[in-house]
Structure formats: structure tokens, C-alpha cells
Amino acid sequence: MPTYEEDYARSLSDPEGFWGQAAEEISWSRKWDRVLNNDNAPFTRWFEGAELNTCYNCLDRHVENGRADQYALIYDSPVTGQVKKFTYAELTELVARFAGGLAKLGISKGDRVIIYMPMVPEAAIAMLACARLGAIHSVVFGGFAASELATRIDDAKPVAIIAGSCGLEPGRIVEYKPLLDKAIELATHKPKNCVILQREQAKAALVGGRDHDWQEVASSSDPVGCVNVAATDPLYVLYTSGTTGVPKGVVRDNGGHAVALKWSMKHVYDVDPGDVFWAASDVGWVVGHSYIVYAPLLHGATTILFEGKPVGTPDAGTFWRVIQDHNVSVLFTAPTAFRAIKQQDPRGELVGNYDLSHFKTLFLAGERADPDTIVWAQDTLKVPVLDHWWQTETGWPMGANCAGYGIKPVKLGSPTHAVAGYDIRIIDEADGATEMPAGEIGSIAVKLPLPPGALPTLWQNDEGFLKSYMSDIPGYYKTGDAGFIDEDGYLFIMARTDDIINVAGHRLSTGGMEEVLAGHPDVAECAVIGVSDKLKGQLPVGFVVLNAGVSRSDADICKELVQLVREKIGPVAAFKEAAVVKRLPKTRSGKILRGIMRKIADNEPYREPATIDDPAILGEITEALSTIGYPKS
């Protein structure tokens, strides 16, 4: 096997040769005419002329090639007490029959289907059934507000919506059907059919002539085969969170997506066919698409679909129980999950109750992995803990410690190096062109063309694609993240570009300050925002959640935090205010809503995001800010 350095260099100098070779791992019904067509840059087309079916590559071919009796999907739900296991043969049969039911409803190649489901096996079955028919699925996070679902209905114009009657949160039931009915009422576009999975926790009333029971659709049909589509045809549209007005629908093509995700399983995650891989995310997010459903199945691995939380279902040991029970070798989750576990079990004592001998690597992504969380996880689990970095738009990692080549030395705060295909540069934001020297913060951009698997455009919005990603730095994809590359070529993601604050002319990373706060022994998690200041432009303000069992005074801890930042970063940071809060406002995927917190502090109007985990937290943040004098009069 080539080294990381050899593969990375070849992926940039000979992308056609590199990705053409990787594509041999995929089954094609027709080979490509061209591996890469970049004639109409930045609208790159990969594997032009080729045809395939993604569902066939995820399921049927493994049944044909000896994996029929291997588990494909394991559903583990501590909220219902259920565990269900599906072999490749069983999952193929279920998907083929449900696809047959959808075909009976008139759903065919190129049609859009919105999926609005909780974390149940049927969510993955619905996605794969759409792929089997060549229909384009658009998964909307279960429980999303009706108005947000309506905007996605109007943008995607689905012929059908597949939904669950409800989702389950610790201690509560979230009924989806009333939200769905309201969304259809609000939307201008009206889907012809809805398929409803009735969960026993909350049965939904069905609308005659429009709504169909899942079981009837799934059981009344003969299985159907796979419909071949062009490699450049869309597999799915996924709307980015935090949208305003018309949402941005990230398009994922079939061919490049299959090639890149299959390649990533071994080279990035060091997973072999037959291994058990667990991405502890949700099918509503890109991680769920890429690494719960598609990549593990493309690779012939076993994937875990987990309906639960890192704490509270029932305790902070639930992740270790899942790893033990299902022989998980690699776990991929967000740092916020580990901060929640650490907050409840600071010494990691619950790990000792479980056999984790099969477990070999933990990958973190979705937000910055602060060094303190990484060190705690390393010390607790005794396995490599690897940060990696990517986005909804890219669909798979841009920066990673690619374990398939052998794990490189970890630098805390860095996802290590660029992944094959991604030519990452640090650009001066002042002129949008000059590359920054090693060690200096700038805008992180990827030199075009983007590799297979990354978005070719936005759904029916080429102009928005150019404006959002391609216009600011000509010839590059602008990631919207800020960071630097050090003298060893290690990439550091410091913040979103709007989280770089300007204090009296000094550009400072709030992420760097968060690293300092997270290093305090009493702090479980934290956030730093930049608030407006008449004298210095902006000043940093910190928010911290303390570990369970801390009994010292908040005032003493805050004084120590201010002193720590002064010692580690210097007086230039002008860090003088910190507040202790019970929790931080987050999206359901775990991203901290720093922008909203800043607007509260600056007394600016804001729109409550549809993705917020609990709106009541914003009131707590407002109260905490008022105790330290914000907003300023």
C-alpha cells in the first residue's frame, strides 16, 4: 500500500488516475467516459458517462459476494429497550420490498422524497429504497419545526414524504405527525403521498387518500430490482442547518459519493469489511448519511444505528455498553458527546464496568475538539483519539489523521493533515488571494477542483452555489472556517471565520481561548464569544459549564479562568469576564450557538434557529449575561 504522502501527492497531481483506481472498488453497470470533467469549473463532474446504483453497491453485491449472513445493520435503542439485527440478506429483502411499495405509489427515478424520521431502522431502509429506485431523498431531521419543514417541501418539491409518527427523547415523546400536517398546510407544494411509520408510543391519525401505513406499503409489494442512474445524477439533497429564507440544498451525486465514501472507510478510519463501525449521530445530519448508512454498507462493514443519548439513556456508560455488546472497533462521534459524558462521570469510572477489548479508535468531528476533551478520552479509553474535520458540503473528511496508513503523532487541536483530494490553503482574508505563512491564521480554502463526493452544486441554485462558496476566493472553495497550517504541515481549525474576533486591532481566535478554559479542572465545557466594545472593537466573554460535583464558588472559578487566559494567551486577549451556566445553547447535532449568544450580548435581533436543542436555554444565557453587565446600555 502506498504511504499517505505518496497517495496525497498523486491525488493532486493525477486526480484522474488516483480516483479512477479507487473507483474499481465500486460496481458499475457502465464505466465512465471521463473520470474528471472540469471544463465548466467550478461545476465539476466526476465519472461522467458512468452508470451505477448506490443501493446495489450497499446491499445486493455483498449478498452476491458472500456476506449474505453477515450483519449489515444493528439497531440499538436504550429509549425503547430494543436491539434488532439485520443481515445483509435480510436488509436487502426489506429494502427491495419497501422500494416496491414506493414504486406502487408511482415513485420513480428522479422524483424527490422527503424523509422525516427518528433513529429507527426504517429511516435507513427508506433512504436505501429511494436510492434503489433512483429517486432523490432529502432527509429532514425528525422533529424539525413545521415552518422549516415547509420551506424544504417547497424547495425540493417531493412527490412523497416518509415520516415516523413520533420520535423519542429521554423522558418525552415528540409527535412528528402534527408537525408534518402543519408543514404540508403551510407549504405551497403539496406532496401526493405520505407514508407513516406508526410507532406504538404515539399512533398518528392518517389523512384519507394521502397517508399510507408503512406496514401496508412494505408488505403488499413484490421486491424490485435496482434502477441504474448516471454517476452525475443526484443521490440526495441535504439542507444545511441554520438557514434563513430559502434553505441551501447540498446536492450529492451517486458516483463520486460512492467512490469517496468507500475509499474513506479503510484509508481514513482503518475499517475492514466485516468490522463493526459506529457513527453516533443522526440520519438527519450529514454524518448519518455518510457514516451510519452509506459508507459502512458500501464497504461491507456492520453499522450501528443508535437511538439514545450519551447520557441519560440510562447513564454516562451507555456508549461503553454499546461498544461492548456489539464488538464495535471504531466509534465516530462529536466532542460534545464526550464533554457530556465527562461532565457526568469526570473520572471515567463507568468505563471499568465494560469489556472494550475490541475497541481500537475514537474519531471526533462536528466541532472543534478541545485538547482537554481529547486528553480525557485518551486517558479514559486507552485508545488513539483522532480529531478530523469536514462539512455537510464535502460529505466526507477534508482533514484527518488517516489511520489506514498508520496513525501519525497527534497534535492536540489539529485534525492532522489534508485528506487525499483536498488541496488545502490558508488565504489572507484581507485580499482574498495571498497565502498566509506557516503558523498565521487565515481563511481556510480548498483549491479547485473538489474531489469526488463533495457537492457539485446546490439544488436548483447554481447562483447560490457560486455566491456561497466560490466567489470570495477565485479558484477556491471557501470553507467558512479560519485556521492555520504549522511548519510540519499540520492543519489547525480555530473557528468559523466569524468567530475570529478583533480586539484593538489584534485578530484572536475564540477557539484558542476556549482551549484554555477547557483546561481548568472544574470545567466540563465552554464557549467564548466576542461582544462589541466601543473602545477596543470587541472583547471576549466566556461561558463555562462545570463538572458534576463541583462545590467551589462560581466567582472563585471565574477569577481563575480570567487569570488562566491572561497567563496562556496574554493581556492582549483582554479576557476579563466569565459566567458559569448550567448548559450551553446547541443545535441538536451538538454545535454551540455562539452567534446567537453574541447577538444576545450585543442586544441585536436574532432568529431562533429551528435546530436548537432547547429554546429555554437562551433565557438562561440572557440572565447570565445580565449578571456581568450585558447588554451594555
pTM for the predicted model, two decimal places: 0.86
What pLDDT was estimated at residue 507? 63
Which residues make Cβ contacts (< 8 Å) with residue 64, sequence separation at least 6?
none
Give the pLDDT band of residue 425 (cuts 50, 70, 90): very high
For residues 513 and 575, the answer to whether their CB atoms sit within 8 Å is yes
In the chain, the amino acid numbered 134 is: G
Rounded CA separation 398/421 (Å): 8
What pLDDT was estimated at residue 499? 72
Give the pLDDT band of residue 633 (cuts 50, 70, 90): low
Domain 4-308+390-483: assigned CATH number: 3.40.50.12780
Whether the predicted pLDDT of 512 surpasses 50: yes
What the block records as the C-alpha cell of 128 is 436505501
**Averaged pLDDT of the chain:** 93
Rounded CA separation 337/360 (Å): 18
Q: 290 by DSSP, 3-state: which?
A: helix
Rounded to the nearest 10 degrees, how much is the dihedral formed by the CA atoms of 418, 402, 46, 95? -140
Pick from 123, 132, 55, 64: nearest CA to 101: 132
Q: What angle do CA 96, 99, 104 make, to 5 degrees?
A: 130
86 vs 497 pLDDT, higher one? 86
Whether the predicted pLDDT of 16 surpasses 90: yes
Scan for cell 403551510, then name that residue: 186
Instruction: List, for residues 283-322, the tens digit of each pLDDT value.
Output: 999 999 999 999 999 999 999 999 999 999 999 999 999 9
Rounded CA separation 395/391 (Å): 6
For residues 389 and 334, the answer to whether their CB atoms sit within 8 Å is no
Question: Does domain 504-627 sit in CATH 3.40.190.10?
Answer: no
Instruction: List, for residues 222-266, the tens digit of each pLDDT value.
Output: 999 999 999 999 999 999 853 344 679 999 999 999 999 999 999
Instruction: List, for residues 554-596, the tens digit of each pLDDT value.
Output: 999 999 999 999 888 877 788 999 999 999 998 877 788 888 8
Which ranges constitute the DSSP H helices of 499-583?
Answer: 510-518, 554-568
CA 293 → CA 23, 75, 129, 278, distances in Å? Answer: 19, 12, 12, 10
Which residues make Cβ contacts (< 8 Å) with residue 86, sequence separation at least 6?
71, 72, 73, 74, 75, 94, 121
Q: What angle do CA 315, 73, 165 make, to 5 degrees?
A: 70
Q: Mean pLDDT across the stretch 155-169? A: 96
Question: Domain limits of the chain?
Answer: 4-308+390-483, 504-627
